[in-house]
Amino acid sequence: MIKVSAYCLISGRAFSPELARQKTGLSFSETHSVGEVGVLGKYKNKPFDFGFARLDDDLSTIDVASFSKRPLVKDLLLHLETLRACGAEQIVLHYDIAYLDQCNIELRSEDLKTLASTGIDVTFTCYPDSSQDSATDTAAQHAERALSP
Amino acid sequence: MAEKFRFPDAKQLAAILGVSEHVFHRRVKPRIKSDFSRELRTMNTSNPDIGLDDHFCIVLRHPETGAILQTAVPLSAYQPNQPQ
């Protein structure tokens, strides 16, 4: 049994997440612009030398079985050229696959066709699902909120 | 002497940071991938293994070729809720 969730990381030396938001209407969950000072990690207290936006899957679709029929993928297909016109150089679609007992994944031909048509890299990470532990899950949600901008 | 690298599983990395595995996968790892996206591009990967060197600094490894990038950035720099 697997639970699939997805996000997309969009970046570029001149990428403007604000312009991308205005032109596409997409709601990014995280962004930073060139010159903005980071608060965490490699760029803590340093200006970013690239623009970045993260686009998340709608969590209400987390049980959608198909890899390609998710709203996130539809948004990407619709706005890919606009994102590139806003300076996006690297666009990576990522799937997290949390599994119980076994991790069996199927990419149907329609998934492959759709994903290939985006022309972007697709990555996968598989890990054992620990969300059965409700205490851990609650802590995770708290920490996730704390990390959100 | 050659430096040793460790590649703990995500659960262990999450424990080092004091976050859940879910937060590690959904929040911490994407930030690391984003911050080092250009370096990763030169390694020809977008989804590296994340490891640590002797000083608990992040090491990124190409999952297929095994090529290594030493970042000199401590994993703790990605700890949430740290003082600004």
* A20-56 confidence digits (pLDDT tens): 999 999 999 999 999 999 999 999 999 999 999 999 9
Cβ–Cβ contact A39 with B under 8 A: yes
Does B24 touch chain A if contact means CB atoms closer than 8 Å?
no
3-state secondary structure of A93: strand
Q: Of A52, A127, A137, which has the smallest distance from its Cβ to B10's Cβ?
A: A127
Tokens of A138: 């609650």
B66: Cβ–Cβ under 8 A, 6 or more apart, which residues?
none
Query: What is the ipTM, given to two decimal places?
Result: 0.88
Residue-level pLDDT at A65: 64
d(Cα A99, Cα A7) in Å, to the nearest integer?
18
Round to whole Å and give the CA distance between B5 and A127. 21
Q: Do B8 and A127 contact (CB within 8 A), yes or no? A: no
Cα dihedral sign, A106-A108-A114-A116: positive
In this predicted model, what pLDDT tens digit does every residue of A49-104 receive, in sequence order? 999 999 998 665 555 567 888 888 888 999 999 999 999 999 999 999 999 999 99
Does the structure show a pLDDT above 50 at A13?
yes
Give the per-residue SS3 of A103-147: CCCCCCHHHHHHHHHHCCEEEEEEEECCCCCHHHHHHHHHHHHHH
Which residues in A lie closer than 8 A to residue B31 (C-beta atoms)?
Answer: 40-41
pTM for the full predicted model: 0.86
For residue A130, name the pLDDT band (cuts at 50, 70, 90): confident
From chain A residues 52-111, the ones with a CB under 8 A of any chain B CB are: 52, 54, 90, 92, 94, 96
**Mean pLDDT score of chain B:** 92
Contacts of A41 in chain B (CB under 8 A): 31-32, 35, 73, 77-78
Q: How far does CA A37 lie from the centroid of its chain?
A: 22
- Which pLDDT does position A104 carry in this prediction? 92
* Gap from A57 CA to chain B (nearest CA, Å): 11
Distance from the B23 Cα atom to the nearest Cα atom in chain A, whole angstroms = 6
